[in-house]
Structure formats: structure tokens, C-alpha cells
């Protein structure tokens, strides 16, 4: 059997103003993914991202790794790409940001 994936689309701000809401959504989505499967984040609708948004992505990545799941970014907006590039995190957050081992 192949790996299956679930999709979580995030639109609007990925900022401190929505950090609590988005952290809960990411935790819930990741918890719904079976071991060895993938949660894909569609960030193509993100209009703004700050350091809290980066922290959310890093926390989701860490949670995925710790729980034996994979986390992928299926699409990124220019706002997301800009922040990842400025912080030199583009390589870390490539197409697949966390793989199960």
C-alpha cells in the first residue's frame, strides 16, 4: 500500500494574530493522519507570514517527525516564499519538510 495524504489549506494571515487558531487546526489535522502517512499544507492562499507563522511551521514539522508522520508543503504563496528565503529556511521547507524514517 502507498502513502496517503490529508490536506490542510491555510488562507489569509499566518501570523501571531491567528497563531492559536492555526496551531489548533494543525494539531487536529496532524492527529487525523495515520502513522506513516502525510499531512500536506497548502499555503498558496497565505497573504502574510511573520515569525509566529514560521514557529507554527517548525512546530508542525517537529510534531510530524516525532509522531512518525510526514509533513509536506504542496503550495506556497509569495509571502511564504519570501519569509522562508529571508530566514534561510527554504531548503528545510522544500516540497517535503518532514519525512518518516
Domains and CATH numbers, the chain: 5-98 (3.30.750.24)
Residue 99 has pLDDT above 70, yes or no: no
> Where does the pLDDT of residue 101 fall: very low under 50, low under 70, confident under 90, or very high at 90 and above?
very low
Helices (H), the chain: 19-31, 51-66, 78-86
Percentage of residues in the chain with pLDDT exceeding 70? 89
HSE at residue 46, side-chain half, CA atoms within 13 A, is 28
pLDDT digits (tens, 9 = 90+) for 49-82: 999 999 999 999 999 999 999 898 889 999 999 9
Cell of 10: 491555510
> Where does the pLDDT of residue 90 fall: very low under 50, low under 70, confident under 90, or very high at 90 and above?
confident
CA–CA distance, 53 with 90 (Å, rounded to integer): 14
**Mean pLDDT over residues 7-30, rounded?**
96
Task: State the pLDDT at residue 95.
Answer: 46
> Where does the pLDDT of residue 93 fall: very low under 50, low under 70, confident under 90, or very high at 90 and above?
confident
Residue 57: exposed, middle, or buried by beta-carbon count in 10 A (0-12, 13-18, 19+)?
buried
Amino acid at each position: 500500500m502507498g502513502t496517503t495524504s490529508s490536506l490542510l489549506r491555510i488562507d489569509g494571515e499566518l501570523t501571531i494574530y491567528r497563531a492559536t487558531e492555526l496551531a489548533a487546526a494543525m494539531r487536529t489535522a496532524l492527529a487525523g493522519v495515520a502513522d506513516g502517512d502525510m499531512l500536506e499544507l497548502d499555503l498558496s492562499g497565505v497573504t502574510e507570514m511573520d515569525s509566529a507563522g514560521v514557529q507554527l511551521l517548525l512546530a508542525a514539522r517537529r510534531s510530524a517527525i516525532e509522531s512518525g508522520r510526514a509533513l509536506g508543503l504542496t503550495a506556497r504563496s509569495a509571502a511564504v516564499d519570501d519569509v522562508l528565503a529571508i530566514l534561510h529556511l527554504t531548503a528545510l521547507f522544500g516540497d517535503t519538510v518532514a519525512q518518516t524514517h
